[in-house]
Chain A
Amino acid sequence: MTVKIKKGLDIRMKGKAVFNLISVPETELFALKPTDFPGLIPKLAVKPDDKVKLGSTLFYDKYRPEVKFTSPVSGTVVAVNRGERRRILEVVVKSDNQNITVDLKIGDLSSLSGENVINILLSSGLWPTIRQRPFNIIANPEDKPRSIFISGFDSAPLAPDMNFVLQGLNEVFQKGVDVLSKLTEGKIHIGVKANTLDDSVFNSLSNVEITEFAGPHPAGNVGIQINHTDPVNKGEVVWVVNPQDVVMIGRLFETGVLDVERIIAFVGSEVINPIYYKTKLGMSVKEMVETNASGSNLRYISGNALTGTAINREGYIGYYDQQLTVIPEGNYFEPFGWMMPRLNKFSISMSYFSWMMPKKEFIFDTNLNGGKRNFVMTGQYEKVFPMNIYPVELLKAIIVEDFDLMENLGIYEVAEEDMALCEFVCTSKTEVQAILRKGFEYMLKELG
């Protein structure tokens, strides 16, 4: 089955990665960031100078202690960086390059029950790779998900090509799928980019329901795919996993050893050679940036330019992120910018001239390109939001904290990334994703 997504926008950014995979030059520092997990209250399990193994718990969820976050390498905890009100921002581990692992004692998958699988995932620290919809938070191990969705491609600006990233991993991906199928009575859905199935790792999979998706971003967002195949209703829970994390889960059960390899695309207009890097979860970006990005006054984004998180030059890749984007900062004053033709700037609206250059790849900076206003223009979000939901009305329901209205207008079906394009196109420069996250927090609090 092929689903055609009509609304959306492919933002043409400069700096797409070429199909070339290399290892990162010697990197010692790795970190897990509790801030990558919305709503998490972390409790530390280690302190600086503690020796840890690959798979040792660094911190865990205060309210669900069985959900553990484990070290991606063996070595020494060198720092616990804190922010305002002593909130934990990063737990940094210095690798000793020994890869001494915690012994997990995994038996044969066919003999394991769902509960066994959950326990292995929890103790290995791979559980947080499984997230739930609604609210896009770490899945609750006690839930019975209606089904599990995996998006087989990423349509975000400059996103890695999953067919390239996953090539040759057919067997281990199948293993990961088999593991996940122990967690749900329902189906495992995989969304594949239209016309790429034959060349992809997904072609040979069994035990899955494959749907092809055609159209512009956000067609590759798992939330959009869920909405167009089997939308989330009130009271239902579905789980989602990134394809690279399926591989990680597959490897764990295949070899019995935790292996947190993660391929990321290093992209953006300020990258010298946009390329794919073989990294590990939470790796420091310092070496990549120093050897392969040019210029100063740059923004380093863990993730893509629509949904990512800004990190500094010595920051760490986010837990769910598959790309590192580097673009110029936009902290400059532009004389009469709003009156100028601005031939080198992109706009979805016809009020600039980027429509005349349908092939041009644009250099984007982080300037807001205007001031914040109340909602004024209408019909803009709807053009880039392919769900049968009224986005502005939903945001207004969140702003006034109307629980019933949020529920009725479909808050269970969306994640921040699904509405990121709305934020991008907004004339009033509204912070759509932040509002949405507030709505999720409010709903979670009310639902208890």
Chain B
Amino acid sequence: MKFLRNYIDKIKPSFEEGGKFEAFHSTFDAIETFFFVPDEVTKLRGAQIRDSIDMKRSMILVIVALIPSLLFGMWNVGHWHFLAFGEDATFWQEFGFGFLKVLPLIIVSYVVGLGIEIIFAQIRKHEVNEGYFVSGFLIPLIVPVDTPLWMLAIAIAFAVILGKEVFGGTGMNILNPALTVRAFLFFAYPGWMSGDSVWISGMVKNADNVVDGFSGATPLAEAAAGNISNLPSTFNMFLGIIPGSVGETSVLAILFGAIILIWTGIGSWKIMASMIAGGLFMGLILNLFAVNAFMELPAWEHFLLGGFAFGAVFMATDPVTAAQTDIGKWIYGFLTGVLAILIRVLNPAYPEGVMLAILFMNVFAPLIDHYVVEANIKSRLKRIKIKA
């Protein structure tokens, strides 16, 4: 490490203002702070000591929480591919296939997204914010595995520039960046984002070779079509051995992530809990007025379908785009859950409602907070009146 430190110290001046590589200052800084926590000390006035937590630690923990979903998703991609084409494969062949399919998505996600982040950081003379480390990891997990890489790149450029940087970067954005990517793909390239064949690797391009009778439809699509009897077993849905976006299928893996996020306090348990409560509430109401098979689906089973669990744990809890006050979080989560199930079940055009529900509530989160804060202001004014 000493050698690395010496080397960094040696080349540092040429990346400072006026140096030869001034234009790469942000890149250099991001790399340096990756290897070394800076030697910056507290100011002479104010808090002289600081907690050990920082943005890098927080974000790496979210990534750790996502790893079970990623690993399971890689295996699941291979598993369904070989199943669809009727080939026998060992566990490692399945995992290896999925690994090679998902890895390019991750690479494109980071190269494009981080590239843009670094350029903006350089222009703004800021440090590169770690927020994109998480977004960049989330994006491959919420798209169909065969999404063409150029499409992904365009969607990411759109989401990072127009969804985040124009507002001022991480911390200032209104919409969840990863979901903005997905929403862009969803509306710009619907053929690659929905239907029965996009979820199985190789099935879009090579539909003829698929085993007879294999549909590739997600359980959610089956349920939406009213084919409740076609749903896999509850256990398989919980484990995640079903077609779907890379990371969304395994509720078990997501639960591991949820435990990490809740324990470390980085993901808000209030939002997760209230979103599940909201989903349950809406599910029960739909049960009450059920006129078709989908509406009759037991409310709790919705959590095993589609992206509900993944959305509740990793998407709705994004601290920047969620409500920020405690009371606001309860309201925000609950309404997100209600809307997700409402859109999912009653909307004929979209098969899934979680993404749109979260994005919609992202937009309303500041409004919710506004009213929560207003109530605080009113209580303060009331105190004066009581005295007077």
- Interface residue? A63 (CB, 8 A): no
Interface of A is mostly: loop
The docked-state distance in angstroms from the alpha carbon of A306 to that of B43 is 11
Q: Which residue of A lies closest to B322 (CB)?
A: A378
Known contacts A233-B387, A350-B264; is-contact A409 B47 (Cβ 8 Å)? no
Q: Are B37 and A333 in contact (CB under 8 A)?
A: yes
CB within 8 Å of A: which B164-215 residues:
168-172
Contacts of B57 in A (CB 8 A): 338-339, 351-352, 370
The docked-state distance in angstroms from the alpha carbon of A367 to that of B322 is 31
Q: Are A369 and B50 in contact (CB under 8 A)?
A: yes
Contacts of A331 in B (CB 8 A): 39-41
Q: Which residue of B lies closest to A364 (CB)?
A: B49
The docked-state distance in angstroms from the alpha carbon of A327 to that of B42 is 12
Given A231, A365, A424, A431, which contacts B51 in the complex, CB threshold below 8 Å?
A: A424
Contacts of B36 in A (CB 8 A): 333-337
- Interface residue? B21 (CB, 8 A): no
Q: Per-residue CB proximity of A391-432 to B under 8 Å, as 1/0?
A: 011000000000000001110000010001001111111011
Known contacts A374-B129, A410-B380, A427-B55; is-contact A351 B48 (Cβ 8 Å)? no
Among B152-160, B284-292, B340-348, B371-379, the stretch that binds chain A is B371-379
The docked-state distance in angstroms from the alpha carbon of A403 to that of B53 is 32
CB A283 to nearest CB in B, in angstroms, measures 20
Q: Are A390 and B376 in contact (CB under 8 A)?
A: yes
The interface size bin for chain A is 35 or more
CB within 8 Å of A: which B314-343 residues:
319-320, 322, 324-326, 329
Q: Are A369 and B169 in contact (CB under 8 A)?
A: no
- Interface residue? A360 (CB, 8 A): no
Contacts of A432 in B (CB 8 A): 46-47
Given A339, A390, A434, which contacts B373 in the complex, CB threshold below 8 Å?
A: A390
Q: Which of B55, B324, B381 has the most CB of A within 10 A?
A: B55
- Interface residue? A349 (CB, 8 A): yes
CB within 8 Å of A: which B125-155 residues:
127, 129-131
CB within 8 Å of A: which B45-77 residues:
45-58, 60-61
Q: Which of A305, A346, A376, A432 has the most CB of B within 10 A?
A: A376
Q: Are A427 and B54 in contact (CB under 8 A)?
A: yes
Contacts of A420 in B (CB 8 A): 46-47
Among A72-80, A105-113, A252-260, A307-315, the stretch that binds chain B is A307-315
Contacts of A346 in B (CB 8 A): 51-52
Q: Per-residue CB proximity of A315-353 to B under 8 Å, as 1/0?
A: 000000000010101111111111100100111111110
Q: Are A369 and B324 in contact (CB under 8 A)?
A: no
The docked-state distance in angstroms from the alpha carbon of A349 to that of B44 is 25
The docked-state distance in angstroms from the alpha carbon of A186 to that of B326 is 36
Given A235, A327, A338, which contacts B37 in the complex, CB threshold below 8 Å?
A: A338
Residues of B in contact (CB 8 Å), total 61
Known contacts A351-B61, A368-B40; is-contact A425 B168 (Cβ 8 Å)? no
Q: Are B48 and A306 in contact (CB under 8 A)?
A: yes
Contacts of B130 in A (CB 8 A): 373
Q: Per-residue CB proximity of A228-242 to B under 8 Å, as 1/0?
A: 000101110000000
- Interface residue? A433 (CB, 8 A): yes
- Interface residue? B20 (CB, 8 A): no
Contacts of B53 in A (CB 8 A): 347-349, 351-352, 369-370, 425, 427
Given A307, A330, A334, A376, which contacts B55 in the complex, CB threshold below 8 Å?
A: A376
Given B131, B170, B265, B384, which contacts A349 in the complex, CB threshold below 8 Å?
A: B265
Contacts of A338 in B (CB 8 A): 37, 54, 56-57, 60
Q: Which residue of A lies closest to B131 (CB)?
A: A376
Q: Are A379 and B46 in contact (CB under 8 A)?
A: no
Q: Per-residue CB proximity of A367-391 to B under 8 Å, as 1/0?
A: 1111111111111001000001110
The docked-state distance in angstroms from the alpha carbon of A333 to that of B129 is 19
Given B1, B50, B127, B380, which contacts A408 in the complex, CB threshold below 8 Å?
A: B380
Contacts of B387 in A (CB 8 A): 233
Given B39, B169, B384, which contacts A374 in the complex, CB threshold below 8 Å?
A: B169
Q: Are A347 and B171 in contact (CB under 8 A)?
A: no
Contacts of B55 in A (CB 8 A): 370-371, 373, 376, 427-428
Q: Per-residue CB proximity of B26-42 to A under 8 Å, as 1/0?
A: 00000001011111111
- Interface residue? A94 (CB, 8 A): no
Contacts of A162 in B (CB 8 A): none
Q: Which of B41, B46, B329, B383 has the most CB of A within 10 A?
A: B46
Contacts of B33 in A (CB 8 A): 371
The docked-state distance in angstroms from the alpha carbon of A352 to that of B53 is 8
Using a CB–CB cutoff of 8 Å, the interface residues on chain B facing chain A are 1, 4-5, 33, 35-58, 60-61, 127, 129-131, 168-172, 263-266, 268, 319-320, 322, 324-326, 329, 369, 373, 376-377, 379-381, 383-384, 387
Contacts A/B (CB < 8 Å), 15 sampled? A332-B39, A333-B37, A333-B38, A335-B35, A339-B60, A345-B52, A368-B40, A369-B50, A369-B54, A370-B53, A374-B129, A374-B168, A388-B379, A390-B376, A393-B373
3 A-B pairs with the lowest CB-CB distances in the bound complex, closest first: A370-B54, A374-B171, A337-B37
